[in-house]
Amino acid sequence: MRGTGKIRRPRTRLTIKPFVWATDADGVPTTDPAAALKGFLQPVGGYKGYGLSLAVDALAGILSGAAYLTHVSSWVDAPESLQDLGHVFVLIDTSKLGQPDWLAERMQDAARILRGTPAREADRPVLLPGERELAALFAAKRNGVALDQDVARLIVKILDGL
């Protein structure tokens, strides 16, 4: 099973949220992490997410000559195996689309519209991609990085072995 971080992490919490994250080996939706690890992750966005993920895999895996779909080795199950990951970069010359000021104003307008969207929960505003990660980065720079005790012990153990 690929992309199992969200499934593996809550194994000690007994349930997976939200329900649609995974199916068991028979394709039945499950909240049991152990069953999910034997099954399949569900794409975000239903069939559209499925199509988008296939397009990305085609570009980054198939067309790049790298591994794709089930040919990608799991670093969790086989950390010594070569993963043969591919990457794709799409560059767009925005100067061909319009003047920089025009494009910047349109991007800022789009950001204003998205941020102005009423939030489902008042204390959780609508964010743009990357805003949560930037906020976490700035908080970590201010306050340091909090580590789970098990992770901290593992790091100490690894460092002691060097």
Determine the Cα angle at 138 with ends 134 and 150, to 5°.
95
In the chain, the amino acid numbered 18 is P
Residue 3 in this model has a pLDDT that exceeds 60: no
Average pLDDT, the chain: 86
pLDDT score, position 102: 96
Q: What are the tens digits of pLDDT across the range 9-41?
A: 654 454 545 556 788 899 888 878 888 888 888
pLDDT score, position 2: 47
pLDDT score, position 82: 85
Please tell me the distance from the alpha carbon of residue 127 to that of residue 116, in angstroms, as a whole number: 10
Please tell me the distance from the alpha carbon of residue 13 to that of residue 110, in angstroms, as a whole number: 39
Question: How does residue 55 score in pLDDT terms, banded at 50, 70 and 90?
Answer: very high
As a whole number, mean pLDDT of residues 66-89 equals 87
Cα distance between the two ends of the chain: 32
Residue scoring higher pLDDT (30 or 92): 92
Residue 85 in this model has a pLDDT that exceeds 60: yes
pLDDT score, position 20: 65
The percentage of the chain sitting over the pLDDT mark of 90, rounded to a whole number, equals 52
pLDDT score, position 7: 64
HSE (side-chain half, CA atoms, 13 Å) at 113: 6
Residue 156 in this model has a pLDDT that exceeds 80: yes
Q: What is this structure's pTM?
A: 0.55
Please tell me the distance from the alpha carbon of residue 20 to that of residue 22, in angstroms, as a whole number: 6
- Sequence-ordered list of residues with C-beta below 8 angstroms from that of 73, at least 6 positions apart, any chain: 67, 81, 82, 83, 84
Residue 98 is given by DSSP the state S
